[in-house]
Structure 1
């Protein structure tokens, strides 16, 4: 066949495959003529659907409670003032306070002695993240804590980050640690975040918290996240506060464990 009769090649070869193997970000997608390839368009649609599903997927609190019990953790279930997902998404303020029944339940559980830390497992904007990552992360954290009074693990439904302030204050905890599903991205529908608040109480601002984000196998590992959190917890106790005044320089300090 002469060169004049050979069909034109419209799909360019993917010369960036090796580079893309190092990240889940959408880089070097290639093109077919002046448009994206069918493969990349379909992949984008799938990622968008997974992100939307992650926002609306409910947390299986019963299965989580059973798994926590098997791992040796007592748990209690609470609900924010947002009665359902629709209210939760439209009214962020309702997700920051407990409903009346949950508040009364925690008031009754407040121990006589002070709790050093309360862990709150929250659905947030990705229950999928909490369902997948909380248990191995919690195991990694607890393995690094010694001589620390840990309260019951609180499973919080329709929860925003600030709900931890209400929970920690009612249980009389020195610190509250929120393990919460983060807003899904187009390459990370199951990203988990940690929020540490020292001396939790209603009215705390985001500037008074420390955040560790993107916890998942493709992001920050459970071990790395646990190391950073324990470092920040100890720093908050020494400083007497958390937030913008508490810097995460754990990488400069080496291992934070004795």
Structure 2
């Protein structure tokens, strides 16, 4: 690092510019300095807001002009139930399942609020646009499913109901004290509800430019994994990302 001061200087400012971790914050008596204490409280509030803010599927639909969308809910009737009953967030509401359009789709994208509706609102549409732009003409793409109170495995139920071979679930990841807007992408080939496990999925995490994976980098990896999954006839631990190092993070930090 060229900006590290000479021996004897203060290293912390230079190191803090290279990471979002809270390092070298100092102290005021036995506590953090007031400025850092307030920053910590603000980060905690942002994380709570990300979890509890309601999902607005119309925002995602508006960011996908010309793309057909379908709205569904999980079996969790409200946010408190969703947080306390993960199993319900993995299953479709029975009425909504009946309204899903069935067809011979190669892939369906599911936008799930997960644990950060903010991440979905800010990043999901851009990832879908960038990914579909990379897919060849032989990929039949189903209408995008916008799922409320949803977890990753809900995508298995959606794919089975719609007849899609591959499902890509874009979901708001659990917020931390340095990131409340992180989006995850989970790819599953030929999912079977209640049978498919996390070992059968491939995940891209921390999609959130400029401090995380960029949309183009995520789209390139997703499209590559989708093509390879179709060749292998499977996804998960047997499918490796061979597109290069995952270092497509905007610089400088």
TM-score, normalised by the number of residues in structure 2: 0.89
Residue 137 (1) aligns with residue 127 (2):
yes
Structure 1 residue 37: deviation in Å? 0.9
Answer yes or no: is 1:195 the counterpart of 2:186.
Answer: yes
For residue 89 of structure 2, the aligned residue among 86, 91, 95 is 95
133-142 or 32-41: bigger deviation: 32-41
**2:152 aligned to 158, 161, 165, which one?**
161
What is the match of residue 76 of structure 2? 82
CA drift of 1:46 comes to: 0.7
Greater displacement, 40-49 / 16-25: 16-25
Task: Assess if the C-alpha contact under 8 Å between 1:191 and 1:214 holds in 2.
Answer: yes
Verify the 8 A CA contact 2:60 2:124 in the aligned structure 1.
no
Which structure 2 residue ranges, 5 or more long, are not aligned?
Answer: 1-8, 246-253
Shift of 1:249: 2.3
Cα distance in 2 for partners of 1:128, 1:95 equals 18
1:246 to 226, 239, 246: 239
**SS at structure 2 position matched to 1:22:** coil
Give 2:251's aligned residue.
none
Hey, what's the Cα distance between the residues in 2 that align with 1:14 and 1:92?
Answer: 47
| Runs of at least 5 residues in structure 1 that lack an aligned partner in the other structure | 1-12, 253-258
Matched, 1:21 2:17: yes
Which residue does the alignment assign to 1:255? none
Q: Cα–Cα, structure 1 residues 207 and 45, in superposed 2: closer, same or farther, change >3 Å?
A: same
> Per-residue CA shift, 1:121-141, capped at 9, x if unaligned?
110000000000012111111
User: What value does the CA root-mean-square deviation take over the aligned residues?
Assistant: 1.4
Report the counterpart of residue 229 of structure 1 in structure 2: 222
TM-score (norm 1): 0.87
Q: Secondary structure in 2 aligned to 1:234?
A: helix
SS in 2 for 1:78: strand
In terms of Rg, which structure is larger? Answer: 1
Q: What is the number of equivalent residue pairs in this alignment?
A: 234
